[in-house]
Amino acid sequence: MILMGHPGGGRTVVCQLAARLSPSKPITFHRLNVKARDEPEAIESEFSRLFQVCLEQPGVVRLVMVNLDDIAETEPNERLMELLGGIIAGEELGVLFCENTSTEQQTSSKTAEGTDSVVSTMDSWQKVRANLHFVLCLPLNVAAFRTILQRYPSLARVLTVDCMHDWPEASLLEISKKYLLKNVPLDVHIQGAEADSSVKKTRRRESLIQSTEDRLQIATHDLLFRIHYAVQTEATLPTAAKRNIIAPCSWYFELLDTFERSVVVSWRVLGSE
């Protein structure tokens, strides 16, 4: 997929949150350190290291973020775009990156029937490709996206099947709910002694209608969305008449991350008093 935004606007946080909130299996976030002015050898070396990690950890899914902000100032790196297009289109790149690795690591292992099994280059590449998901970060610049669209139409077509300019309130509230329930527990515990005992015990504050944690969760989701909507309206009002091709909202994810860090700091302060 493609994420467009300003540098420091929260695109990295979006990718990190997407990896952390995966419901099915754990996802590892990986940043591909490549630039538009890098030599082809440097690009291939970076991809080779990525594929090597994927081979060593075959069961781990990786969300790979590729930052292309510098294409607003210079030409896209041909080798980088060629490799990205080949991987996303499903081309066989094992000959380039997995052949040497598999040759060095070829070992014979006895199966139940007593035959030898050797890992082939094609099998190695399939393992690598099955665990890779790419996110391309572009600057919030129409010319940058147009460059990708004109020079690499097949790549752009695959990455922009479902485009959204903004996220509806229901989607943001659902994201907030899942994130906070997993990372920011808001349940309130109270201490008190039972009627027939003087020993104080800690228990959760429950209600027959709605627990304190439920009320805090609902109020927090609503507050975060109102903050997000107010900031978004204020920021986008001057450019409301201009056309944006793709501008996925990332401020909300940055807000969630900031809220979590603020709560953790507050807990530490209260705990030290």
Question: Which regions of the chain carry the CATH code 3.40.50.300?
Answer: 2-98+123-164
Output the pLDDT for position 245.
38
Q: What is the mean pLDDT of each run of 10 residues along the chain (273 residues)?
A: 78 82 78 86 87 80 86 83 82 62 44 42 74 83 80 78 57 71 64 64 56 70 69 57 44 69 75 66
Q: What CATH number should be reported for the domain whose range is 2-98+123-164?
A: 3.40.50.300
Output the pLDDT for position 188.
54
Q: Which residues contact 168 (CB under 8 A, 6 or more apart)?
A: none
Position 219: which residue type? A
Q: Which long-range contacts (CB under 8 A, 24 or more apart) does 7-10 make?
A: 7/69, 7/139, 9/140, 9/250, 9/251, 9/254, 10/250, 10/251, 10/253, 10/254, 10/257
Residues 108, 118: contact at Cβ < 8 Å? Answer: yes
Output the pLDDT for position 62.
85
User: What CA–CA distance (Å, rounded) separates 143 from 133?
Assistant: 25
Output the pLDDT for position 155.
81
pTM exceeds cut of 0.85: no
Output the pLDDT for position 117.
38
Q: Nearest 10 degrees: CA dihedral of 39, 40, 46, 51?
A: 180
Q: What share of the chain is helix, strand, coil (3-state, %, to 5)?
A: 55, 15, 30
Place of tokens 């690591």: 105
